[in-house]
């Protein structure tokens, strides 16, 4: 896989993170009103932001099997795989969780929020099982990390079939995974979100494993049908656009590369940092243009903080993950 291709996929992560950030900050509320009204064109544009989550899932559907294939993964390497993934994801997540809890305690004591900061809820966050136990996520983006963890478990268990050289095994496991949405259409579990990962598998099979175009197309079309039926058209468009980006884009502007590098940090921290900046500035709103300026300040502060978070927290975490053995 060419380094240019991997760089373009990293840029796609940046686009997805910015989409989600844009959505949350444009729709920020101080408890009495939202920053932008529903009829505002910028607010309407931001409403497509949540589909960035499916872009992330398509990327994981492509990149994680690629990484496992390169490392010649088998079940004997399962512990190393999980250690690497948790070192990559967990330290930035735990620090973000700690900051979220601290802000939550302050807001609760001030009467601004009524977050569930019970010991049970906090511990459930540590193990990514909050939603499974019908508890409340303290940060609106944490649920996607829980789905990623479930995805890793599925990959470890089924990778020998997912990556098999025998077409019937690949077809069987893809059929099983897509059928799981119908068998367990519950958004607490990956079964509800497995289809964009399958779109990513299709790209992996086509670009990396060089399997038949027809086979790859069948998997992608089947996944697209499930997405359209269970989630909706916008989510399908985002998933297919992500697949097209992976397949055909090889060169990206350096600004997108920068966003890609800080994408995980931006994704984790923007509700706290950008949300706080907008909350502080909203009382000074005096019209549409000042609202746009406040939104810009929220976005800019989120990106600036994410760069620092990336340098100080995420990079050391990535280095530790690379050295796990």
The mean pLDDT of 130-137, rounded to a whole number, is 96
pTM of the full structure: 0.96
CA distance 236 to 51: 9
pLDDT at residue 1 greater than cutoff 90: no
Q: pLDDT (tens digit, 9 = 90+) per residue, 71-110? A: 999 999 999 999 999 999 999 999 999 999 999 999 899 8
pLDDT at residue 3 greater than cutoff 90: no
The mean pLDDT of 31-47, rounded to a whole number, is 91
DSSP single-letter state for residue 211: -
| Least confidently predicted of 113-117, 157-161, 191-195 | 113-117
User: For 191-194, which contacts have Cβ atoms below 8 Å and span 24 or more sequence positions?
Assistant: 192/230, 193/54, 193/57, 193/147
- In DSSP terms, which residues pair with 34 in a beta bridge? 29
Measured from the Cβ of residue 159, the count of other Cβ atoms closer than 10 Å reads: 21
The mean pLDDT of 179-206, rounded to a whole number, is 98
**What mean pLDDT is reported for the chain?**
95
CA distance 156 to 172: 16
pLDDT at residue 5 greater than cutoff 90: no
């Amino acid at each position: 896989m060419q380094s240019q291709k991997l760089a373009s996929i990293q840029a796609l992560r940046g686009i997805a993170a910015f989409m989600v950030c844009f959505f949350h900050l444009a729709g920020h509320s101080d408890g009495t009103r939202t920053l932008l009204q529903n009829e505002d064109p910028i607010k309407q544009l931001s409403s497509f932001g949540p589909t960035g989550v499916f872009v992330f899932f398509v990327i994981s559907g492509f990149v994680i099997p690629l990484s496992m294939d390169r490392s010649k993964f088998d079940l004997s390497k399962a512990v190393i795989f999980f250690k690497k993934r948790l070192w990559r994801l967990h330290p930035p997540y735990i620090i973000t969780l700690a900051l979220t809890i601290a802000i939550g305690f302050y807001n609760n004591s001030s009467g601004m929020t009524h977050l569930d900061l019970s010991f049970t809820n906090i511990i459930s966050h540590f193990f990514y099982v909050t939603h499974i136990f019908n508890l409340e996520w303290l940060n609106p983006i944490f649920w996607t990390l829980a789905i990623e963890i479930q995805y890793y478990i599925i990959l470890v268990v089924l990778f020998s079939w997912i990556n098999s050289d025998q077409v019937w095994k690949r077809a069987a496991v893809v059929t099983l995974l897509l059928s799981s949405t119908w068998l367990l259409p519950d958004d607490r579990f990956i079964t509800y979100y497995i289809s964009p990962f399958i779109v990513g598998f299709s790209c992996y099979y086509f670009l990396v494993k060089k399997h038949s175009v027809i086979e790859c197309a069948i998997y992608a079309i089947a996944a697209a049908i499930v997405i359209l039926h269970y989630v909706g058209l916008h989510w399908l468009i985002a998933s297919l656009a992500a697949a097209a980006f992976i397949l055909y884009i090889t060169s990206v502007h350096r600004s997108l590369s920068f966003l890609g590098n800080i994408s995980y940090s931006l994704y984790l921290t923007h509700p706290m940092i950008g949300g706080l900046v907008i909350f502080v500035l909203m009382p000074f709103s005096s019209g549409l243009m000042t609202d746009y300026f406040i939104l810009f300040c929220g976005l800019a502060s989120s990106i600036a903080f994410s760069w620092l978070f990336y340098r100080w927290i995420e990079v050391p975490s990535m280095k530790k993950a690379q050295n796990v053995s």
